[in-house]
Structure 1
Amino acid sequence: MSTPLAELPVVSSSAELMDIAIKTFGPRMTPAADMGDLARPLRALLNETNGRSNRVQLGDRFDVVLTPRTTAAAALLDDIQQGCGPVIEDPLAGEFYWLVPPGSAERWEPHPRAVCFGAGHTLTLPPLRKTAPPGPYWYRRPYWYSTSMRDRLVPTARLRELLVLLETESAPPQPLPEQSSTS
């Protein structure tokens, strides 16, 4: 049922129109509870699109394994599965941030050179197009950026195996035992 034009009120300002709307329809509705959750990824997407760093909650899209910089592990993952998965390098700290499936932190077994962080932590992602220093950059771009074979998160089981393998291979040489000299 529509109101004839002759019965519509004449208003002189937007504030007056708002008052009429409130009287007619009730007070302004509060946003739905899930709108805050929706706003966070939209802001993140806008930051990524506009080339800005972006602080994200871990545990939603991914968790992170923090290790010393190890290009050998990334290269081996490239060979094993035709693409490593997303990795951020912080050259100043000499660290890699491996983006792994969400929930990995709950199952991560202690490792002397790697720590896994998940829900309850945040991470600042570099701009998606940043692939070189200065500062943290994408050593391997994330899956949501391209459609290449690297469209996956880093598998934690394989990453752990490679870290153990590389740790034993790159262990410092042990000193030779003292030899007695006889003359």
Structure 2
Amino acid sequence: MSTPVTTGAVPMSQFVGLAGVAQEPDPDMADLAEVIRTLLAVEMGHDTRVRLGGNLFDVVITGAGLQARSVLAVMDAVQGGCGPVIEDPERGWLYWLVPPGTSRRWDPHTHAVCLGHPHTITLPPLDRTAPPRPYWLRPSASDRLVPTRPLREALTQLPPEPTPHAALTTQLGGVT
């Protein structure tokens, strides 16, 4: 036996019509989907190009020499294990992944350059932890980035060579 429609009830087809035209997806959702696809590609073992800035991270680029190793030791002590750092042995650079928006606040530094939007970086697969190609010197962890203030202080006290400034004007390597 069917239930009669009571007075004032709106059939489903009318209710859907009253809802109006479907809205476009929120632009943040498209960005989130791209971020998820990118991070899954890195996790699956692929080199993956990622936009800097946004909600992920910016990057501080320094030389990868002996002084940079000292900076890394300082950051290990500050953080109880440094946040994510990529070494590019071919170029002799370290890429320190720092909080998004850092590039907008980064004052010029004689031994480091900070890049954010609109640049990109190629992230190595999460399981690549040794050369010859760019690799995770300090693996990426979902719960941390390299804190800007202590990094800047360490870079000032222990300035890594070579400085990246001249090279960045001619080539950006994994960063564009």
SS of the aligned residue for 1:167 comes to coil
Shift of 1:38: 3.5
Where structure 2 has 5 or more consecutive residues not aligned to the other structure, the ranges are 1-21, 162-176
**TM-score normalised to the size of structure 1?**
0.68
**TM-score normalised to the size of structure 2?**
0.71
Shift of 1:119: 1.5
2:158 aligned partner, one-letter code: L
Moved over 4 A (4+): none
Deviations 1:1-43 (A, max 9, x none): xxxxxxxxxxxxxxxxxxxxxxxxxxxx896353532431232
Q: Which residue of 1 aligns with 2:171?
A: none
Distance in structure 2 (CA, Å) of the matches to 1:45 and 1:124: 11
Is it true that 1:158 corresponds to 2:150 in the alignment? yes
Query: What do you get for the CA RMSD once the two structures are aligned?
Result: 2.2
Distance in structure 2 (CA, Å) of the matches to 1:47 and 1:103: 24
Distance in structure 1 (CA, Å) of the matches to 2:82 and 2:43: 23
1:66 aligned partner, one-letter code: I
Is it true that 1:61 corresponds to 2:56 in the alignment? yes
Q: Which residue of 2 aligns with 1:45?
A: 39
Distance in structure 1 (CA, Å) of the matches to 2:78 and 2:35: 32
Distance in structure 1 (CA, Å) of the matches to 2:83 and 2:40: 23
Deviations 1:67-108 (A, max 9, x none): 001111111111233111100000111100000011100010
Deviations 1:112-171 (A, max 9, x none): 110000111111000011100111000001122xxxxxx411111111111111139x9x
Identity, % of aligned positions: 53
Q: Which residue of 1 aligns with 2:112?
A: 114
Structure 2 counterpart of 1:99, from 93, 97, 103: 97
2:78·2:150 contact (CA, 8 Å) conserved in 1? no
Distance in structure 1 (CA, Å) of the matches to 2:144 and 2:159: 25
**Which structure's relative contact order is higher, taking Cα pairs within 8 Å and 6+ residues apart?**
2
Where structure 1 has 5 or more consecutive residues not aligned to the other structure, the ranges are 1-28, 145-150, 171-183
Shift of 1:55: 0.8
Q: Which residue of 2 aligns with 1:32?
A: 25
